[in-house]
Structure formats: structure tokens, C-alpha cells
């Protein structure tokens, strides 16, 4: 079970503002402008303790430098309570008064990234909050405004008004240079006990598929992280931010030594998106799959390694770079691409317009391919449409898939086809519970569906009988309808 956040007990007020201040520090958005070491210097700093005195070294100077930039965040929102007798009232048809709303309060952490009061935290810490209060390490308190958020990255940007007083900040590191075994320090406010510092190591980098957010790339650490640490800082020994603590894997609700942090390079990408009002993730123009043991054996590889290119979009970055179906990508900019999620992270954490180097295995040859990262196109236009008429799909909202829409939805979706984006209450498909948001309509009465226009034409004459085939999470299913009552689905 993944655990984030903690109930707390404070009340306060704020106003919501969606305008990002111009004072966002440019240094936070530009790699290399924050005092990071070169790769050689960073590697040279990694060594085992050489004496008893070195083992007894303290983290205190590091904590004193960074801790003032880590804050506590308290939120509150009103939720409607359900009266204790609601079930009996509904069962016997009695009218009833709704229970009065109650205030739900929660706790998290944050990191000051701008001296003018810009603060990074997790989206789930402030999601739905009507009031946000920020408490600094020196106990100063400020009401905060939510200025930008991205649910896929699970990040949010807050602004507090300091009336000209500059706040302490933390410098950004480079999460691509973070290695398994590096010592890190986690700072946050677990269980509301107050600012707490724990230490550990990086257990894994580019961890994917852990079910925390849609855009899943995390640093894993064994530094103790508990509820309330969400949004807090994960700091390297050079005093720079390497990640934002997000969640833990736990059966009890406490730390089991498996914590996850959003890499700082993704935070940098989020801040760049905050300046423009939207986050655009780079598009590769290629569909990939992991190289399994069976696939490796069929390809003559000595072990399963890399990512197989199984489809290349015409005119996309991969095609222009010369990548082909059957190529195996082994690394990006020298970092191993072990699965499709890692490949997306290594490319997705780089800015648009940058040229990245793909290490490729093509047959028995090793190649180096340069690929320029670009914005995903919206081709075809999404043409979001609510289906109407006398048929089983009336009341279902659909759209044309494109690289842009697939990226926005943040899941492993094809870049073409027709996707369900919503259902109206009372729609036949909703009552029968056979189609859901995110399903891809493949065919109607054996007519392949490739566009919204094509779907509207296909369903126009299906008032008495329809056979709808669709995919959900890669699994195919088919439902058959015959007026007035026959309904059967099979996968």
C-alpha cells in the first residue's frame, strides 16, 4: 500500500490565484546554472571512508544549510458528511436532512525554490484544499496560493507573500548523476511531530510501475519517510536537491525502508511548464517494448537487455533519426535503458529541442543515433464529441487519439484511434457498465473504427443490434446488444 499525507488539526484562510510570478528564478530552469559538479568531480567524491575519523563525520553542517528551506504545509477543505441514518432513510424513502459539512485537515511538507516565496510540494498534499498554510522552520507562517499544478507529475507550486523579505532556498542538483548507493538526507514533517531529518542511500533510480502517479519515474531510497513527509526534500551530500519525497510502500502506514521521490530533473521540467502555463513532454515517435528472456533468445542476445522498437511513427523524431523497427535501444546519453519506462524517463526529463544520443543495437552492429526531442503533435485534431442518437453508445464522449492527447492522458496509450473520454449519467453504456473512460473503440459490427467521424457513421444504424469491440489496458473485449433486452460481453 502506498501511503502519503496525514490528518492534522489547524484552521486558516487563503485565496486561490493562478498567475505565476515573473520572479521565478531562471537558474532553477537551466541545468548547469546551479553550481553542480562535473561528472568527473562527482565521481571522484564517491569513496569509502578512509579512517575512523571519517566514519564519525556529521551531517549537521549540511542540515543547517538546507533545513531552513524545507517547510510544513497545512491544508483544510470542507467535506459533506453522510448522516448515520442515511441508509435507513433511503431504504424506507424518508426525507432527511443532510449532515452539516465538516472540515478535513491534512499535513505535508514543501521546499522553497524561490526567494520571493515560491514553494514546491506534491499535488496530492494540496489537491482540493480551500485553505493552505505554510510554516517555516523558524515558525514564521504564511497563507499560500496555489499557482500551478500537474497531477501526472504529482507536483504543485505555491506562492506566499513575504512583503519583500527573502526566504532561504535550496539549490537544484542533477538527478541523472545520482547513482545507486549515493547517501541522501530526507527532510520533512512526518506525523506532524515537527521538522525531522533522516538519512539513507539511493536504492534505485528511474523506478517505474509503482502505481503512484501516471507519469511514473522515481528515485527509491531507504531513508525513513513517513506520512507527512510528502513534498519534502531529498538532499545529496553536496547540499543540492535531488528529489521531492512523494510516497512510501508500507503495509502498516509507517516506513519500511522503501520510499519514492520525484527526481529533481522532473521538478525542473515542471517549473519550466509553470512559466508557460502548460507542461509538454517530449515525443519520441516510437512504440517500444521490454526485451524479455524469450525475446532475447529469439534475437540471439546473451541476456535480456534494452528496449525493442516495434513501431516508428512516419515523420516522427525516431524516424528522422534513422531508428527502425527491430532496433534495440540500450542507452540514452550513456545511461542504460532497461525498460520502456526508463527510456521515457531518460528522454522525458530532458528539455524540448535538446538532441539526445541513443545507443542502438541493430543486428550485430552497435550504432549511435542522435534524436532531437520535439513537442508531440495533435494530428489528427481530437474532435471531442458526445455521441447522440438511438444506439447503445449514445451519451458516450469520444475523441481522436494523437501523440499530444496520448501524452496529456499520461498512460500507455496508442497514438491513434478513438478513445472514450467520458460518459453522461444515465447513458445506456454507463447503466450496463460495459465501457469506461479510457477504453479504445476498435470496431462496431466488424467495421474498424479509426476516427470519431467513422464511429458516428458506424453507430447510426445500430438501434436494434450492435457488436462493439474495444480494448482496455491492452486487453480486448466484445459486447453484443440486441433490442430490446439481449446483452452479452466476452473478453
Q: How far, in Å, CA of 297 to CA of 478, rounded?
A: 34
The pLDDT assigned to 326 comes to 93
Mean pLDDT throughout 437-446?
92
Residues in the chain, total: 491
Measured CA angle at 231 (ends 162, 35), to 5 deg: 75
Residue-wise pLDDT for 351-400, tens only, equals 888 999 999 999 889 999 999 999 999 999 999 999 998 888 999 999 99
Q: How far, in Å, CA of 70 to CA of 189, rounded?
A: 9
Q: Is 105's pLDDT higher than 90?
A: no
Indicate the average pLDDT of the chain.
Answer: 81
The pLDDT assigned to 443 comes to 93
Q: Is 187's pLDDT higher than 80?
A: yes
Banded model confidence at residue 312, pLDDT cuts 50, 70, 90: very high
Among 153, 144, 143, smallest CA distance to 122 is for: 153
- Range scoring the smallest mean pLDDT among 47-56, 59-68, 309-318: 47-56
**Domain limits of the chain?**
1-31+67-81+101-279, 286-372, 385-490
The pLDDT assigned to 327 comes to 94
Q: Is 17's pLDDT higher than 50?
A: no
> Which of the listed CATH numbers 1.10.287.3510, 1.10.8.420, 2.40.50.840, 2.40.10.120 matches domain 1-31+67-81+101-279?
2.40.10.120
154 is catalytic: yes
Q: Which residues of 159-179 are buried (b: 16+ CB within 10 A; e: fewer)?
A: bbeeeeeebebbbbbbbbbbe
Measured CA angle at 445 (ends 444, 450), to 5 deg: 35
Among 277, 271, 230, 201, smallest CA distance to 24 is for: 271
Mean pLDDT throughout 148-175?
92
- Range scoring the smallest mean pLDDT among 43-47, 97-101, 222-226: 97-101
Q: How far, in Å, CA of 414 to CA of 406, rounded?
A: 7
Q: How far, in Å, CA of 364 to CA of 301, rounded?
A: 9
Which of 175, 230, 313, 359 is labelled catalytic?
230
Percent of the chain with pLDDT over 70: 81
Q: Quick check: 335 and 343 in contact, CB under 8 A?
A: no
Q: Is 335's pLDDT higher than 80?
A: yes
With H, G, I as helix, E, B as strand and everything else as coil, classify residue 144: strand
Which of 154, 222, 339, 439 is labelled catalytic?
154
Mean pLDDT throughout 6-33?
38
The pLDDT assigned to 71 comes to 94
Q: Quick check: 337 and 346 in contact, CB under 8 A?
A: yes
Banded model confidence at residue 271, pLDDT cuts 50, 70, 90: very high
The pLDDT assigned to 252 comes to 53
With H, G, I as helix, E, B as strand and everything else as coil, classify residue 104: strand
Which of 34, 124, 213, 402 is labelled catalytic?
124
Give 221's contacts (C-beta < 8 A, 6+ positions apart).
Answer: 184, 186, 200, 201, 202, 203, 234, 243, 259, 260, 261
Identify the helix (H) or strand (E) that includes residue 428: helix 428-432
Residue 77, burial from CB neighbour count under 10 angstroms (0-12, 13-18, 19+): middle
124 is catalytic: yes
Mean pLDDT throughout 323-336?
92
- Range scoring the smallest mean pLDDT among 102-116, 175-189, 231-245: 102-116
With H, G, I as helix, E, B as strand and everything else as coil, classify residue 264: helix
Q: How far, in Å, CA of 425 to CA of 427, rounded?
A: 6
The alpha-carbon radius of gyration of the chain (Å, integer) is 26
Domains 1-31+67-81+101-279 and 385-490 share a fold: no
Residue-wise pLDDT for 289-306, tens only, equals 989 899 988 888 888 889
Between 431 and 491, the more confident residue is 431
Q: Quick check: 328 and 309 in contact, CB under 8 A?
A: yes
- Range scoring the smallest mean pLDDT among 2-16, 118-132, 421-435: 2-16
The pLDDT assigned to 249 comes to 61
Mean pLDDT throughout 274-296?
88
Q: Is 19's pLDDT higher than 50?
A: no
The pLDDT assigned to 44 comes to 61
Q: Is 12's pLDDT higher than 50?
A: no
Mean pLDDT throughout 157-174?
93
Which backbone phi and psi does 27 adopt, to 5 degrees? -65, -25
Q: Quick check: 340 and 332 in contact, CB under 8 A?
A: no
Mean pLDDT throughout 429-439?
86
Q: How far, in Å, CA of 314 to CA of 287, rounded?
A: 12
Residue entry with cell 481530437? 382
Most confidently predicted of 98-102, 185-189, 341-345:
185-189
DSSP summary character for residue 283 = B
Most confidently predicted of 214-228, 311-325, 468-482:
311-325
Q: Is 449's pLDDT higher than 90?
A: yes
Q: Is 160's pLDDT higher than 90?
A: yes
Q: Is 440's pLDDT higher than 90?
A: yes
Q: How far, in Å, CA of 138 to CA of 120, rounded?
A: 18
Residue 50, burial from CB neighbour count under 10 angstroms (0-12, 13-18, 19+): exposed
Paired sense of beta strands 218-221 and 259-263, if any: antiparallel
The pLDDT assigned to 158 comes to 96
Q: Which three cell numbers stand for residue 208?
A: 517505474
Q: How far, in Å, CA of 296 to CA of 28, rounded?
A: 41
- Range scoring the smallest mean pLDDT among 153-157, 317-321, 350-354, 375-379: 350-354
Mean pLDDT throughout 172-196?
88
Which backbone phi and psi does 134 adopt, to 5 degrees? -110, 130
CA atoms within 13 A on the CB side of 138: 7
CATH topology of domain 385-490: Pdz3 Domain (2.30.42)
Q: Does domain 286-372 have CATH number 2.30.42.10?
A: yes
The pLDDT assigned to 118 comes to 95
Which backbone phi and psi does 333 adopt, to 5 degrees? 50, 35
Amino acid at each position: 500500500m502506498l501511503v502519503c499525507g496525514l490528518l492534522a488539526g489547524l484552521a486558516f484562510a487563503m485565496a486561490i490565484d493562478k498567475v505565476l510570478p515573473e520572479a521565478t528564478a531562471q537558474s532553477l530552469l537551466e541545468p548547469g546554472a546551479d553550481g553542480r559538479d562535473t561528472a568527473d568531480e562527482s565521481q571522484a567524491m564517491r569513496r569509502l571512508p578512509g579512517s575512523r575519523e571519517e566514519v564519525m563525520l556529521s551531517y549537521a553542517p549540511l542540515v543547517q544549510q538546507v533545513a531552513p528551506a524545507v517547510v510544513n504545509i497545512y491544508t483544510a477543505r470542507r467535506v459533506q458528511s453522510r448522516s448515520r441514518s442515511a441508509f435507513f432513510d433511503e431504504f424506507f424513502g424518508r426525507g432527511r436532512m443532510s449532515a452539516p459539512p465538516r472540515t478535513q485537515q491534512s499535513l505535508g511538507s514543501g521546499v522553497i525554490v524561490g526567494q520571493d516565496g515560491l514553494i514546491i510540494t506534491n499535488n496530492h498534499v494540496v489537491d482540493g484544499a480551500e485553505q493552505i498554510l505554510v510554516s517555516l522552520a523558524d515558525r514564521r507562517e504564511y497563507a499560500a496560493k496555489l499557482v500551478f499544478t500537474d497531477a501526472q507529475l504529482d507536483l504543485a507550486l505555491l506562492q506566499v507573500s513575504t512583503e519583500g523579505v527573502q526566504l532561504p532556498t535550496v539549490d537544484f542538483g542533477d538527478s541523472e548523476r545520482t547513482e545507486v548507493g549515493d547517501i541522501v538526507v530526507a527532510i520533512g514533517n512526518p506525523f506532524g511531530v515537527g521538522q525531522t531529518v533522516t538519512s539513507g542511500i539511493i536504492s534505485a533510480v528511474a523506478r517505474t510501475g509503482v502505481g503512484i502517479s501516471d507519469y511514473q519515474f522515481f528515485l527509491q531510497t531507504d531513508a525513513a519517510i513517513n506520512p507527512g513527509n510528502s513534498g519534502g526534500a531529498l538532499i545529496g551530500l553536496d547540499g543540492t536537491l535531488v528529489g521531492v519525497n512523494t510516497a512510501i510502500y508500507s503495509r502498516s502506514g509507517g516506513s519500511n525502508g522503501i520510499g519514492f521521490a520525484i527526481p529533481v530533473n522532473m521538478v525542473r521540467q515542471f517549473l519550466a511548464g509553470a512559466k508557460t502555463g502548460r507542461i509538454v513532454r517530449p515525443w519520441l515517435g516510437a512504440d517500444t517494448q521490454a526485451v524479455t528472456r524469450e525475446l532475447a533468445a529469439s534475437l540471439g542476445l546473451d541476456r535480456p537487455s534494452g528496449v525493442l522498437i516495434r513501431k516508428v511513427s512516419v515523420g516522427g523524431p525516431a524516424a528522422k533519426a534513422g531508428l527502425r523497427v527491430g532496433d534495440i535501444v540500450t542507452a540514452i546519453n550513456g545511461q542504460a535503458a532497461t525498460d520502456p519506462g526508463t527510456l521515457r524517463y531518460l528522454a522525458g526529463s530532458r528539455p524540448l529541442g535538446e538532441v539526445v544520443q541513443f545507443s542502438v543495437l541493430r543486428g550485430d552492429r552497435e550504432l549511435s543515433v542522435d534524436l532531437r526531442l520535439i513537442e508531440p503533435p495533435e494530428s489528427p485534431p481530437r474532435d471531442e464529441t458526445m455521441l447522440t442518437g438511438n444506439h447503445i453508445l449514445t451519451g458516450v464522449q469520444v475523441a481522436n487519439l494523437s501523440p499530444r492527447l496520448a501524452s496529456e492522458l499520461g498512460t500507455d496509450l496508442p497514438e491513434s484511434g478513438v478513445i472514450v473520454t467520458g460518459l453522461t449519467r444515465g447513458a445506456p453504456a454507463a447503466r450496463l457498465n460495459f465501457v469506461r473512460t479510457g477504453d479504445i473503440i476498435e470496431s462496431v459490427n466488424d467495421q474498424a473504427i479509426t476516427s470519431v467521424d467513422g464511429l458516428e457513421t458506424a453507430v447510426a444504424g445500430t438501434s436494434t443490434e450492435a457488436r462493439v469491440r474495444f480494448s482496455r489496458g491492452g486487453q480486448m473485449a466484445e459486447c453484443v446488444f440486441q433490442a430490446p433486452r439481449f446483452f452479452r460481453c466476452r473478453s
